[in-house]
Amino acid sequence: MSGKSLGLVFFPAFDWAITPAHPEREERLLYTRDQIVEEGLLDLPNIKEFRPRLARLQDAERVHIGVPGLAQLITDAHLVSAGGAITAAEAVMRREVHSAFALVRPPGHHAMRVVHGTRGFCTINIEAVMVEYLRRHYGLNRVAVVDTDVHHGDGTQDVFYHDPDTLFISLHQDGRTLYPGTGAMSELGSPGAFGATVNIPLPPGTTDQGLHVVLDQLVLPMLEDFKPDMIINSAGQDNHYSDPLANMAITAQGYARLTEKLGADIAVLEGGYAIEDALPYVNTGIILAMAGLDYSRVVEPDIARCPRQSETNTRYIAKLVAEWQDIWRRRDELKREAVAKAGDLWQRRRNIYYDDSGIQEQQQETVRQCPFCQGYQTVATQADSRAGGSRSAFAAIIPRQSCGVCRRQAQAAVHNAKQDGRHDHYYLQDKEQDTLEEI
């Protein structure tokens, strides 16, 4: 028996769905439950099952600014899912287990800092809530989040886009061919956190072979360079060859080997919608790999269906890897250039679409490039819903370990905005004080 112990928070939320026929519905983890219970995985001496705790609203508001308020936008299921990730993380932090897997739903990696509704099945970002919880309660600092969901982890990217202490690596099917459309190589983090966002858009049809080239030649060396205190895997499983929402060709073996190589401290389930043909096998593979057990016998019944990688893709991936290796090698120099170019204030405007809620959001984000801290940020947001309503807000965010200047300027920014009165709501998120208040 392996000496690696694994904590498992299994929370299939059998009584929660977005809508009855939505891919994110009650039975999404039903067949996974059947498989892991049938395998007897929960009876293995080195696997310990934990009951998820309920995250508090404050845990979620440490990350998110909900408009008009997060409480109105979420259900209890979201707090259990985020709480499940926290439970898994705490089991690792307290050294009760070597690593942990939060096999929970609903997922979270498309939920951004500002939340007007549900997008990509996500309302709150459960990994981000977990990371910020660990920072607040366990003093964790450097974190790497490796997102292996087939979709770009745009929410997690957004939450950490200005944070140089969080290395966010997303492997995904190229955004030109799949929701949410983002995740190009050029999205590298705002200047102060340049290179802490790594996007690796893979061509449709990428197989285990291509995935492991990227892992071996890019992701693992990056992790080695970054030296995180903790590695988190956003373990989406929709890269599987049978997934109905995407076009990749990864197998359960491919996922299990990835899990073994990555050696994440915590894995958190994200997407994966081949609920019957892929999830039972992929999850079994991941659990065995994390527990240090033999996963070589986990093979899908229809494995013959899985395509081989095309020559074109192999060449494309080799080129992509070479380009990224070059950027990574020059990242310090590129960062200096980006900071110099941005000057005191860095700004961007974006349109964000909430597919599950039918909301179109316009956002203007401003970051003060501060030489003494991460720099405060402001966000002006306006959301127009399909139903016709419109809602706007202005928020200022004071980072952890903020300097006095940023703190005062952030407070002034939100009060000035309120005096101007162009928005419906005004928020101050103070990460130092761990508060979110409506002004």
Catalytic residues: 110
| Closer residue to another protein (CB): 126 or 188 | 126
Establish whether the linkage from the previous residue to 399 is cis, with ω within 30° of 0: no
Give yes or no for residue 294 binding another protein (CB under 8 A). Answer: yes
Span of 44-52, 58-66, 250-258, 264-272 interacting with Zn ion by CB under 5 A? 264-272
Give Cα 133 distance to the centre of its chain. Answer: 15
The one among 147, 149, 277, 300 contacting Zn ion by CB under 5 A: 149
Q: Using CA atoms, how far apart are residues 155 and 145, in angstroms rounded to an integer?
A: 12
- Residue 12, contacted partner among another protein, Zn ion, none, CB below 5-8 A by kind: another protein
Span of 48-56, 63-71, 225-233, 422-430 interacting with another protein by CB under 8 A? 48-56
The one among 174, 238, 243, 361 contacting Zn ion by CB under 5 A: 238
CB of 397 to another protein, least distance (A): 30
User: CB neighbours (10 Å) of residue 286?
Assistant: 27
| Closer residue to Zn ion (CB): 172 or 425 | 172
| Closer residue to Zn ion (CB): 5 or 199 | 199
Q: β-pairing, 6-11 with 47-50?
A: parallel
Residues in the chain: 439
The one among 284, 357, 374, 409 contacting another protein by CB under 8 A: 284
Q: How far is CA 432 from CA 112, 119, 321, 406, 435, in A?
A: 20, 28, 38, 12, 8
Residue that has been written with the tokens 């992929």 in this structure: 282
Interface residues for Zn ion in 373-412 (CB under 5 A)? 373, 403, 406
Q: How far apart are the first and last CA of the chain?
A: 57
Q: Strand 359-368's sheet: what is its strand order?
A: 345-354, 359-368, 377-385, 390-398, 425-430, 435-438
The one among 58, 71, 75, 176 contacting another protein by CB under 8 A: 75
- Residue 80, contacted partner among Zn ion, another protein, none, CB below 5-8 A by kind: another protein
Residue that has been written with the tokens 């000057």 in this structure: 343
| Closer residue to another protein (CB): 258 or 298 | 298
Say which residues have a Cβ less than 8 Å from residue 364's Cβ, sequence separation at least 6: 347, 348, 349, 379, 380, 381
CB of 420 to another protein, least distance (A): 41
| Closer residue to another protein (CB): 11 or 160 | 11
| Closer residue to Zn ion (CB): 117 or 236 | 236
Candidates 261, 291, 386; CA nearest to 43 is: 291
Give yes or no for residue 341 binding another protein (CB under 8 A). Answer: no
Give yes or no for residue 76 binding another protein (CB under 8 A). Answer: yes
Instruction: Read off the amino acid at residue 165.
Output: D
The one among 96, 216, 225, 276 contacting another protein by CB under 8 A: 276
Give yes or no for residue 370 binding Zn ion (CB under 5 A). Answer: yes
Q: Are the C-beta atoms of residues 55 and 100 closer than 8 Å to each other?
A: no
| Closer residue to another protein (CB): 87 or 374 | 87
Q: Using CA atoms, how far apart are residues 275 and 242, in angstroms rounded to an integer?
A: 9
Query: Nearest-5° angle of CA 231, CA 232, CA 234?
Result: 150
Q: Is 147 left (phi over 0), alpha (psi -120 to 50) or beta?
A: beta
CB of 152 to another protein, least distance (A): 24
Quick one: DSSP state of residue 299? Answer: -
Coil vs helix vs strand at 98? coil
- Residue 151, contacted partner among another protein, Zn ion, none, CB below 5-8 A by kind: Zn ion
Give yes or no for residue 296 binding another protein (CB under 8 A). Answer: yes
- Kindly write out the interface string for residues 22-41 of this chain, putting x where it contacts another protein by CB under 8 A and - elsewhere: ---xxx--xx-xxx-xxxxx
List interacting residues with another protein (CB under 8 A): 1, 10-16, 20-21, 25-27, 30-31, 33-35, 37-44, 49-52, 54, 75-77, 80, 276, 280-281, 284, 288, 293-294, 296-301
List interacting residues with Zn ion (CB under 5 A): 149, 151, 236, 238, 271, 370, 372-373, 403, 406
